[in-house]
Amino acid sequence: MDVDSNKHCYKFEKNNYEKGLLDNSVDATYIIHLSDNGRLNHVQEQLKEYQPTKTVYIVFNQGFKKCKKKLIEQVSYQDLTDAFLQCFKHANEQNYDNILILEDDFIFSPKIKDPKNITCVNDFLNSKKDEEFIYYLGCNPIVIVPYSYNLKQYKSYKSCSMHAIVYSKKTRNKPLNLQLKHWDVIIENGIPNRYLYYIPLCYQTYPNTENKLTWSNKDNIVVSYSKNTIISLLNLDVSPEPGFSIIYFVSKLLCIILLFMIFFVCLYCYDYINNNKYFVKRRQKRYNKLT
């Protein structure tokens, strides 16, 4: 992967707005757009309704099929990884701190305009500004645990989807293992501090695309089948809701079940130790020695 030599395949179109929703915590937004894929009108419609920051760059990517690139492999997921790295490079040249990177199939939830949600997100991002982290504005959470007392912020141990993420400056400057190829795998293995809001503020759908067809390259048969089944059952190939909200609810429920299981295992172990004859005798011997 040679980011510098691939630069000629990209054009950064800067859009300025009077005010953005995340201006208090995010310096700029980058929207990765594969040229001529039919999504530009969708991007422009979203920006008319929602301005995430006052500075927004639409990153026109010609793609590896139309513009010669130095990639590890000439495949779509490597092309997307290169696009993310181009955004990192541009943001560092502009000396930005936190940045938001969107894929061009993003769909903002109306809830992102709620002042309470925006304040909560901005405050959290500012508290982490000088740290190495990423923050999902929307994803498909699998294993998450509460991170704040008010249950508004969660830490992610396993989540899918990279369509709407805030990256800190320290994250952008960290060396990443690009041999892992897929951007979500690269970030998951390289950045341990991954957070998300308690509700999805940005969605995407999962129609059959060239990139989706490559998921099987990183997933085993069971994971790949599970993903496709969930997408089909929740109609996520057509509409983000109620699918996204259901996934968020289930992941929180799994967290509660897991915590209860850990609690009862600890309780059982405590009870076993206190009532087992062997442990009782050992405690009695120690007590006798002390007295």
Residue 161 φ/ψ region, left for φ over 0, alpha for ψ in the -120 to 50 degree band, beta for the rest:
left
Asked whether 192 and 172 are in contact (CB, 8 A), the reply is no
Specify if 38 maps to a domain: yes
Segment 248-268 shows an average pLDDT of 85
Handedness of CA 41, 42, 46, 47 (dihedral sign): negative
Q: What angle do CA 253, 244, 242 make, to 5 degrees?
A: 100
Specify if 158 maps to a domain: yes
Is residue 220 scored above 80 in pLDDT? Answer: no
Q: Bigger pLDDT: 75 or 280? A: 75
Residue type, 271: D
Specify if 252 maps to a domain: no
Q: What is the pLDDT of residues 71-129, one digit of tens each?
A: 988 888 899 999 999 999 999 999 999 999 999 999 999 999 999 999 999 999 999 98
Q: What is the pLDDT of residues 128-148, one digit of tens each?
A: 988 999 999 999 999 999 999
Specify if 222 maps to a domain: no
* Local confidence band at 260 (pLDDT 50, 70, 90 cut-offs): confident
Percent of the chain's residues with pLDDT above 90: 65
Q: What is the pLDDT of residues 39-48, one digit of tens each?
A: 999 999 999 9
Q: Bigger pLDDT: 57 or 278? A: 57
Specify if 20 maps to a domain: yes
Is residue 262 scored above 90 in pLDDT? Answer: no
Eight-class DSSP state of 174: S
Specify if 240 maps to a domain: no
Is pTM, for the whole model, over 0.85? yes
Number of domains observed in the structure of the chain: 1
Segment 261-274 shows an average pLDDT of 78
pLDDT for the residue 256: 84
User: Which range (59-68, 252-261, 280-289) has the least confidence?
Assistant: 280-289
User: Which residues constitute the domain of residue 200?
Assistant: 7-204
pLDDT for the residue 150: 92
Q: How far is CA 224 from CA 124, 227, 252, in A?
A: 33, 5, 22
Specify if 234 maps to a domain: no
Q: What is the pLDDT of residues 169-211, one digit of tens each?
A: 999 999 888 888 789 889 999 999 999 999 999 999 988 766 6
pLDDT for the residue 274: 72
Specify if 132 maps to a domain: yes
Q: What is the CATH number of the domain that holds 19?
A: 3.90.550.10
